[in-house]
Every structure is written in C-alpha cells, then in structure tokens.
Amino acid sequence: MSPPAITGVETEVLVGGRLVHLLVHVTSDEDLTGTGESWWGVPAKPSQPDDAAVSTTAAVIDTILAPQIMGHDPRAIGRIWHDLAHDSYRWGDGGMVMCALSGIDLALWDLAGKRHGVPTMELLGGPTLDSVPAYASLPPLRTEEALCTEIGRARDAGFGAVKLHEIEADTIRFAFDEAGPDLKVMVDVNGHFDPIEARTIGAMLSDLGAVWFEEPVSPMRDVAMIAELGRDLSVPIAAGENEWSLLDADRMLRSRAVDYFQPEITKIGGLTAGLRQSALAELHNVAFCPHNFRNGPSLAASIHWAFSSPNAKWLELPWLPEVLDFPLGWPLPTLVDGHVLPPVGPGLSMPD
C-alpha cells in the first residue's frame, strides 16, 4: 500500500473588523483535512486593507511553503517541519515565515489526530493533568464602566481569574477592587513602560497581590532588564509571546527572567516546536502558560499542548465584550470550577 500524500494546502483569511484569522487547511488523499492557524498579527491601521496583518503570511504559505510539501507523506510531521525550517532559515528563524510554518504544522497535527480518531493530545502522550485553570483575557478596556461590565461577565461565566491589559495605575486599582477576593488578577502591559515606570507599577502590583506582571518593559525582548525587574520586584513576571526559536526560549529561561513562560504556538512553529519549548520550561522548572488571543484552532492547539505538559499552570481564553466576536465564531470551552477539561474529540478538537 502506498503511503498517504498531501493533495492540497489552502489558506483562508477571515476578517471581522479588527479581528482576523489566518487558517491553513491541509488535505490528504486519505480524504482527510486538517486545519491549523497562523498568528493573526496586529490589527490593520486605517490606511491599510483589513487583511493587512495576515495577507503576507498567507502569501508565504501559498508561494514558498505549500508547493514544497505537495505529494509528501502527511504523517512525517517532524520531517516536514525540519525541511521547511531548513529551507527558510536564511529569512531568519522567526517572523512571518515561522508564523506560516506554524499554521501548516498545526494542520498536520490536526490531520494526525483525525487519522487515528483520537484527540491529538493522545498522540503527545495523553493528558498529564486532570484539568487546567483558565483566565479571561480582557482586551484593553480603559474605562471603569467597561471593566466593571467585563469583570462581572467573566465572573458569571465561571472564571476564577481575569487578565487586564490596562496601563493606568488608578484603572488597575479599580479593576482589583472590582475583582475582589474571589477573582485572581494578572496584569499585561505589553511592554508599555520604561524600566523606571515598570518598577513603580510592579511595586503596586506586588502590594495588590497580582498573579503576574506580564511584559513589564520596552523593548519587550530585553531579557536582561526583565530579569533585573524580576529580581527587584516581589510580583511574579510573565513573558514569552514575542520569543520565537528554541534558542530564544533557552535564552529567556536560562536568564531566569520569567516565572511564567508564555510561548505562542501560532508563531514559534506549531506543536512540533512547541513540544520542545514546553519541555525546556520543565527542564528550567518554570511554569508554562500558552499565550493565545483567538478562539479557534490556535486556542484548541494551545489546550492540547497545555495538557501535554505537567508544568502547564494557566490557559488564556480571550474574553471579548458582547458586541464583538471572532469571525470564526467558535464558542469557548465550558469551564468546570474555572478549569478547562481535556479535549475528547479527534484531532485538535476544542473541549466541550
């Protein structure tokens, strides 16, 4: 019997206002299709087309990567990953090419689970945890009224923690008051502060009892400064969504810069690369918390990935105001006591 072969690779861009998805569908002659997702980029500016954030990554898949894997055995995920990474190495081991490769790799892992009729997580060794706690990741809201509404909605939905993307001290204090003693709070400032400001806000977050202070300083990849802040502040530090290769992950973890390591599976090269990075977090005894801000294949893959590592501490579930939704429109997984349960459907399925 001849081995299965890849017969199609298609990109699909979904646009809903400032929210976009770049999906990658890989089809094989087994009559199976796996779907992955590449990083969604940053929202288009008014001067750019709506799909500006993902159109170039889609072109990388369509013109550079997809032609190389047509006819190849879709079961050889590791070989495909290494071939594509080797071929594109001269463009760098991060950036859009690695986002593109991530989407293909995740589609192949989805396909693998569907071929065997099991959750992809089972092919990674099965769940290492019974459940993983989830936090509602609130977008930047900026007003007390909106924070009040969204923290209340997250509490009502069963979350035990919320993450703020606020940068004003008074707004942050207000949100902690709203959260009260029953909701844990993380604060992500996306590298908004210089080191002096980060120390001031970090000291406040220590007093408020924040779970973590995420990407405290600009530039966001200044690992030495993040490590210095981490030594000086008592609030735990989280970062990693802007790191790329295994070498980058090693640099961040080896420097002891972070207490919570947050690689983004749609950027670093998919699950094939992700399994190495989560293992590295285990080696360095650092909590592993997949970064994610989409509700589709990227979230599903992050959940399978989290369950594969005993170091997984939190799952990030994007929490949009009621008037917004991602264009794919998938529902969030049901929470049980604030936790996500292992997925049970074939492939990179979302838990019920």
Residues 277-306, one symbol each (x = binds Mg ion by CB under 5 A, - = not), give ------------------------------
Give, as one character, the DSSP assignment of residue 211. Answer: S
Could you count the other beta carbons within 10 Å of the beta carbon of residue 130? 9
**Nearest distance in Å: CB 190, Mg ion:** 6
Which window, 68-76, 126-134, 186-194, 314-322, contacts Mg ion (CB under 5 A)?
186-194
Query: What 3-state DSSP class applies to 12?
Result: strand
Closest to Mg ion by CB, 216 vs 347, is 216
Nearest residue to Mg ion on Cβ basis: 188
Contact between 259 and Mg ion per CB under 5 A: no
Residues 27-46, one symbol each (x = binds Mg ion by CB under 5 A, - = not), give --------------------
Which window, 166-174, 182-190, 222-230, 314-322, contacts Mg ion (CB under 5 A)?
182-190
Bridge partners, 35 (sequence order): 25
**Nearest distance in Å: CB 210, Mg ion:** 14
Contact between 264 and Mg ion per CB under 5 A: no
How far is Cα 253 from Cα 249, in angstroms, rounded to an integer?
Answer: 6
Residues in contact with 103: Cβ distance below 8 Å, sequence separation at least 6, in sequence order? 11, 22, 23, 24, 36, 37, 38, 57, 61, 266, 270
Closest to Mg ion by CB, 133 vs 191, is 191
**Nearest distance in Å: CB 215, Mg ion:** 6
Closest to Mg ion by CB, 110 vs 188, is 188
Contact between 188 and Mg ion per CB under 5 A: yes
Q: What dihedral angle (degrees, nearest 10) is formed by the CA atoms of 146, 151, 156, 159?
A: 140
Closest to Mg ion by CB, 88 vs 102, is 102
Closest to Mg ion by CB, 188 vs 259, is 188
Contact between 316 and Mg ion per CB under 5 A: no
Q: What are phi and psi for residue 316, nearest 5 degrees?
A: -95, 115
Which window, 65-73, 187-195, 247-255, 274-282, contacts Mg ion (CB under 5 A)?
187-195
CB burial of 87-116 (b: ≥16 within 10 Å; e: otherwise) equals: ebeeeebbebbbbbbbbbbbbbbbbbbbbe
Could you count the other beta carbons within 10 Å of the beta carbon of residue 346? 18
Contact between 243 and Mg ion per CB under 5 A: no
The residue whose two tokens read 């893959």 is 301
How far is Cα 274 from Cα 272, in angstroms, rounded to an integer?
Answer: 6
Per rule CB under 5 A, count of chain residues that contact Mg ion:
1
Could you count the other beta carbons within 10 Å of the beta carbon of residue 44? 18
Q: 115: which 2 tokens?
A: 């071929």
Q: Which residues of the chain form contacts with Mg ion (CB under 5 A)?
A: 188
